[in-house]
Amino acid sequence: MENNISMDSMREKEAINAYLKLLQAKGGKSALLRRRSLFLDQLILNLVNKELDGIEYREAVENLMDILPAEDWHESLTAAREFYPFWTGDIKSIAALNVNPGFDVAQISWAPLPTSLKSLIDSLDTEKFDASETWPLKAYSQALRQEGSEQRLVDTRVKLAKILLIRLKNAPLKNHKSYRTAVDQTLPLFNIKNNRRLFLVVVREFYHFWTGNPDASSMVLKDGSGNILI
């Protein structure tokens, strides 16, 4: 039994080393490599002797995230997403990730301001949204209704999308990285996991409307898993 544990631990250690070497080759600074290494050392404690399976991996990540400070969520989730194909030994996925969206080795230049979920919800009635924010909200709401959603579901999902838009208000750039950062830094505000997963479902659907994807309407109500790693 001890030999099996040792062998499996070696599997994880080799995967971490390969991941960190790639980040270093991409220009990752020593401080970033050290933070990623510390996070992954914690993560693999929950991966030893586990099947190379997405469900097992997601559960290990979710359990670890619950004990991390809110300000560490974005970088930790970035590491978890990038490390997965190294853990499974999926060379094709590593190559694909390297092309799009690429490995994130830059220092975080922006993050939404600290707040609470209650404060965000309380601000919804008075918050003003400009045309660039109102348009995707209306389009998302319409798409949900066209799929036959009840008004209560529509209202809940639009409210969650508005929470994300509030978090994005002071982002210097409206791009994929800002969106991902705002999502990751909002997740720890949801103490109830089912609500957190619903938020994840919503922000993935809403992203297509936010970016003006002409096929956005076809992507609502397709995935209810709320996978923290997608």
Question: What is the distance between the alpha carbons of residues 18 and 184, in angstroms, rounded to a whole number?
Answer: 25
Tell whether 52 is covered by a domain: yes
| Of the residues 68, 99, 130, the one at which a domain ends | 99
Stretch 101-122: mean pLDDT: 91
Domain limits for position 55 = 2-99
Domain identity same for 152 and 190: yes
Tell whether 69 is covered by a domain: yes
| Of the residues 99, 131, 149, the one at which a domain ends | 99
Residue 6 has pLDDT above 80, yes or no: no
Q: What separation in angstroms does the CA of 200 have from each of 49, 52, 182, 228?
A: 29, 24, 12, 7
Domain identity same for 12 and 79: yes
Domain identity same for 124 and 94: no
Contact between 200 and 127 (Cβ < 8 Å): no
Domain identity same for 75 and 131: no
Tell whether 107 is covered by a domain: no
Tell whether 227 is covered by a domain: no
pLDDT tens-place string over residues 58-72: 999 999 999 999 999
Tell whether 184 is covered by a domain: yes
pLDDT tens-place string over residues 129-187: 999 999 999 999 999 999 999 999 999 999 999 999 999 999 999 899 999 999 999 99
Q: What separation in angstroms does the CA of 63 have from each of 56, 58, 77, 175, 219?
A: 11, 9, 12, 29, 29
Per-residue confidence at 34, pLDDT binned at 50, 70, 90? Answer: very high
Higher pLDDT, 13 or 3: 13
Residue linked to tokens 């974005």: 74
Counted domains in the chain: 2
Contact between 164 and 182 (Cβ < 8 Å): yes
pLDDT at residue 7, as a whole number: 57
> Is the pTM value of this prediction over 0.85?
yes
| 169 three-state secondary structure | coil
By residue count, the chain amounts to 230
